[in-house]
Structure 1
């Protein structure tokens, strides 16, 4: 998980509540199994803390132990998501979506969200029709479809504009189809295709507000914190293996992934502070870069820890095996080459903006213009 440079009392409370349930029955810490029943018990605890978890970009709070420092509230949120991810990515998927829905409602002016479990379902590609307060059509890739109380569902209106609807899932006209999901990873997430027939729904926010709000990207960084938390947990298995039976090759592998994780860890801290200090900015480029970096590290950790430890933990350790399989699927929420393309375009735009501010017309101007956005 994200290492704590500053105290996070809220995380400590959540950890105590969850680990008290997990380790009831004296399960061995490295081999505990997350059952469906346990998942729902943990999720219930997490949801009960929802109103205490800071929204992204909600500023800083005073550090009670060191009055000269402040704690990033965005980082507090990410640390909690990373911790949950170290336990189980199915729970993380549900809870991250729940928190994201509450943040969206907050940003769009809906301060009193109805109690229960929320989700955001924003995958497009299937037709939806919304007329006279009722929605009909199909929505795919809906995680937690059978357990969610309320969903925020996107659709495109007749003018192609992005709209957001609030749907109470406890009503007639809703059919849930789980047959499409074939992956072993994230299999327990209850990801389904939802068929809607004249289902009552209410519009949330103005046209395109869901996509254009700066919080869209702040939320995307939260997903990266989930990936990171799972990857860091898998890496911790290598630390334990090395400590139990040191070897040069284990140390080499540990040094490789430890360096990558430590650098990314510091970038999370930097970006959280940046978001809290500049909450009206989306920080899209920085967040896209972070997501791309964490995806790469997650793949690297899965491969390298596997090389270092061999087949045993994949075959004999239920927590390690499930986390590895789930993370491989979860990081596909990244968009690979498309994300890199956008990073390139945004980097070029930033370079052009930086170059336009330079007034130096001397012989060094070309060098300044070429490397300005990456200079130390």
Structure 2
């Protein structure tokens, strides 16, 4: 990814979280363009966010990442999706890579290179093939590939000769001709550029093989890592509540008891979701055994808060909330798509089944 204009200066001594919050507050004043947010990604690099969350094993670092994801999600959900994927990829390389791969990761992050993770694929899927000279090449494509044509390094899952699912780190900077975003015709999250990417005949070497086959789906990291996108989504719901509040105050509608009741419901749903997200984050980053059902349940809690708040905003603001220049309209369009994460009903069912199998109610670690 090329490096666009530098980010606005921020006071010396600010933490990464403080700088991100300042950037997010500025970005939240406008809708921005519905293209890949390259300048905003570069701004996150300028304030240390791209390199700052490889290790979040301490409670303090976990809290910081929760709040950075919330802030970014509240300003730009497409940017939040890109940043969350970058953090995921960096943590996977750090967790499963060897010393040399971790050193390469560190230098990449210092240089502002942007990572991502692509797992979804059209049939027959992505595979690793060996040519006649004994060299390895990738064959196949990835779909719903966030940042296709815009990222620098990508972690992909590819089937090896034995059928195992191998994590492969591929340098894709400059490979724009392989990206096809023409099919990404959606109402929201357009800036993620989540199209197709063709890896056919791309050479790879041993330095790109991250970990052993099938390590990608190691639990609880694989399922519990979903907490990160719930934090991004939560930030958007919180921003929606703020914009709804501003509308009610500016128009005097807050004097109406019905409007106040509707707003109160949004507040309670969103605040409750925030408690779930933060606890889910701490359990997941501690690799706790109970992290998976907690994170899976959190997905549904955040989804409900988002759906109820979007409906409340539409009812309270009315027609004005559907104009393209409205922040409420932009957040609603983006959030409506982002909440469609895979198998939401199955996620809640798995969580409920886990709670039924084990009595957790007397354990204060849940809260």
Q: Distance in 1 between matches of 2:144 and 2:216?
A: 18
Counterparts in 2 of 1:324 and 1:18: CA distance versus 1, 3 Å: closer
Counterparts in 2 of 1:18 and 1:139: CA distance versus 1, 3 Å: same
Q: Distance in 1 between matches of 2:24 and 2:262?
A: 31
Q: Which of 222, 225, 242 matches 1:219?
A: 225
Q: Secondary structure at the match of 2:140?
A: strand
Question: TM (normalized to structure 1)?
Answer: 0.79
After TM superposition, the structure 1 = structure 2 runs for residues 1-376 of structure 1, keeping only pairs within 5 Å, are 9-17=15-23, 22=27, 30=29, 32-35=30-33, 39-48=37-46, 49-50=48-49, 53-55=52-54, 57-60=56-59, 72-109=60-97, 110-112=101-103, 113=105, 114-115=108-109, 116-126=113-123, 127-132=125-130, 133-170=136-173, 175-201=178-204, 202-244=208-250, 245=252, 246=254, 247-275=256-284, 278-279=286-287, 281=289, 283-315=291-323, 317-351=325-359
Q: Distance in 2 between matches of 1:279 and 1:13?
A: 29
Deviation at 1:159, TM superposition (A): 4.2
Q: Distance in 1 between matches of 2:262 and 2:217?
A: 40
Q: Does structure 2 retain, via aligned residues, the 8 Å contact 1:173–1:196?
A: no
Deviation at 1:322, TM superposition (A): 1.5
Aligned residues: 331
Structure exhibiting the larger radius of gyration computed from Cα positions: 1
Q: Secondary structure at the match of 2:167?
A: strand
Deviation at 1:87, TM superposition (A): 0.9
Listed one character per residue, the Cα deviations across residues 50-78 of structure 1 (whole Å, up to 9, x for unaligned) are: 35533465113xxxxxxxxxxx3212101
Q: Does structure 2 retain, via aligned residues, the 8 Å contact 1:178–1:191?
A: yes
Q: Distance in 1 between matches of 2:272 and 2:237?
A: 14
Cα RMSD (Å): 2.8
Deviation at 1:225, TM superposition (A): 0.3
Q: Secondary structure at the match of 1:131?
A: strand
Counterparts in 2 of 1:15 and 1:309: CA distance versus 1, 3 Å: same
Q: Secondary structure at the match of 1:300?
A: helix
The equivalent residue for 1:69 is none
Deviation at 1:157, TM superposition (A): 3.5
Q: Distance in 1 between matches of 2:36 and 2:117?
A: 23
Counterparts in 2 of 1:235 and 1:124: CA distance versus 1, 3 Å: same
Q: Which runs of 5+ in 1 are unaligned?
A: 1-7, 23-28, 61-71, 355-370
Listed one character per residue, the Cα deviations across residues 200-248 of structure 1 (whole Å, up to 9, x for unaligned) are: 2322111111110533244310100011000110111121122231221
Question: TM (normalized to structure 2)?
Answer: 0.81
Q: Distance in 1 between matches of 2:355 and 2:35?
A: 46
The equivalent residue for 2:10 is none
Q: Which runs of 5+ in 2 are unaligned?
A: 1-13, 131-135
Q: Does structure 2 retain, via aligned residues, the 8 Å contact 1:55–1:73?
A: no
Q: Distance in 1 between matches of 2:188 and 2:152?
A: 24
Counterparts in 2 of 1:139 and 1:345: CA distance versus 1, 3 Å: same
Counterparts in 2 of 1:269 and 1:280: CA distance versus 1, 3 Å: closer
The equivalent residue for 1:362 is none
Deviation at 1:373, TM superposition (A): 8.3
